[in-house]
C-alpha cells in the first residue's frame, strides 16, 4: 500500500467511525434526544452530533491501531508457526478463549443479584455472529484462507479494542463503543484489497 492509499483508507475510516457513532449515539439515547428533533432545536442537535462524531473519531483511531497491529501479528504468527494451518488453529483456540472470557468472566465480575448468565452469553454470541458474517464476506471477496484471520480480527481484536468500555461496564458505553468498532473493523477488512488494488485470487 502506498502512502496515498493509506491516507485514503485512514480518512475514510475516520468518517465511517464518526458517522456510525453519531447515528448509534442518537439511537441509544433517543428517549433523551427526541424532544430536540420534535422542537427543531438545530443548535442542540448539531452540538450533540459534533460531540458524538468526535468520540467516533477516537473509536476509529483505536480500530485502525488494532487493524495495523493485527497485520503485524499475523505476519509474526505465520513466521513462528511456519504453517498457515497451525497458525489458524492457534487463532481458533484464541477465539474460543476470548468468547468464553467475554461471557463467563464478565458474569463473574459484574453480575448483580438476580442477573442471569444468558444476557452475557447473548453478547458474546452477537460478537461471534457479526464476526462470522464479516469473515464469510471476506472469504467470498478474497479467498477461503482469509476466513479464520478475518474471524480472529473481528472477535479477538475487537474485544481487545473494546476493553475500556468493558472495564467500565456501563451498557450505554458498551454499545456506543462496540458498534462503531465493529463497523470500522469490518470496513477496513473488506476495503483493504480495494485500496491496495489487489485482485481476487
Return the pLDDT at 197: 66
Task: Show the domain range for 34.
Answer: 3-196
Residues whose CB is less than 8 angstroms from the CB of residue 180 and which lie 6 or more positions away in sequence, other chains included: 17, 20, 21, 24, 56, 59, 60, 63
Q: Is the residue at 77 inside a domain?
A: yes
Which 3 state secondary structure label does DSSP give 142?
coil
Return the pLDDT at 201: 41
Distances (CA, A) of 130 to 30, 41, 133, 141: 24, 36, 5, 16
Torsion, Cα 13 181 194 70, to 10 degrees, reads 110
Q: Is the residue at 164 inside a domain?
A: yes
Q: Is the residue at 131 inside a domain?
A: yes
Return the pLDDT at 20: 96
Q: CB-side exposure of 186: number of CA atoms within 13 Å?
A: 18
Quick one: pLDDT band at residue 1, thresholds 50, 70, 90? low
The larger pLDDT score, comparing residue 9 to residue 29, is at 9
CA end-to-end span of the chain: 18
pLDDT in tens, 149-189: 999 999 999 999 999 998 888 888 899 999 999 999 999 99
Rounded Cα distance between 38 and 176, Å, is 23
Q: Is the residue at 93 inside a domain?
A: yes
Return the pLDDT at 161: 96
Q: Is the residue at 40 inside a domain?
A: yes
Rounded Cα distance between 2 and 24, Å, is 33
Report the domain count for the chain: 1
The larger pLDDT score, comparing residue 83 to residue 198, is at 83
* Selection from 61, 7, 28, 3 nearest residue 179 by Cα: 28
Instruction: Point out the least confidently predicted range of 29-33, 160-164, 179-183, 194-198.
Output: 194-198
32, pLDDT greater than 80: no
Q: Is the residue at 201 inside a domain?
A: no
Return the pLDDT at 172: 85
When pLDDT is averaged across residues 49-78 and rounded to a whole number, the result is: 94
Rounded Cα distance between 195 and 197, Å, is 5
Cell of 137: 464476506
Spatial contact of 138 and 146, defined as CB atoms under 8 Å apart = yes
Amino acid at each position: 500500500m502506498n502512502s496515498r492509499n493509506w491516507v485514503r483508507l485512514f480518512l475514510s475510516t475516520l468518517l465511517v467511525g464518526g458517522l456510525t457513532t453519531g447515528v448509534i449515539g442518537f439511537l441509544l439515547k433517543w428517549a433523551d434526544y427526541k424532544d430536540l428533533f420534535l422542537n427543531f432545536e438545530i443548535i442542540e442537535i448539531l452540538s450533540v452530533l459534533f460531540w458524538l462524531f468526535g468520540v467516533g473519531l477516537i473509536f476509529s483511531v483505536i480500530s485502525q491501531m488494532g487493524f495495523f497491529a493485527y497485520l503485524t501479528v499475523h505476519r509474526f504468527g505465520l513466521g513462528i508457526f511456519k504453517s498457515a494451518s497451525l497458525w489458524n488453529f492457534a487463532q481458533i483456540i484464541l477465539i474460543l478463549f476470548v468468547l468464553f472470557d467475554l461471557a463467563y468472566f464478565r458474569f463473574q465480575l459484574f453480575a448483580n443479584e438476580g442477573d442471569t448468565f444468558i444476557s452475557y452469553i447473548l453478547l458474546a454470541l452477537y460478537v461471534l455472529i457479526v464476526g462470522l458474517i464479516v469473515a464469510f464476506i471476506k472469504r467470498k471477496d478474497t479467498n477461503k484462507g482469509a476466513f479464520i484471520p478475518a474471524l480472529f480480527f473481528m472477535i479477538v481484536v475487537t474485544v481487545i479494542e473494546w476493553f475500556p468500555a468493558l472495564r467500565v461496564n456501563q451498557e450505554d458505553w458498551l454499545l456506543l463503543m462496540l458498534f462503531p468498532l465493529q463497523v470500522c473493523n469490518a470496513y477496513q477488512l473488506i476495503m483493504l484489497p480495494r485500496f491496495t488494488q489487489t485482485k481476487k485470487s
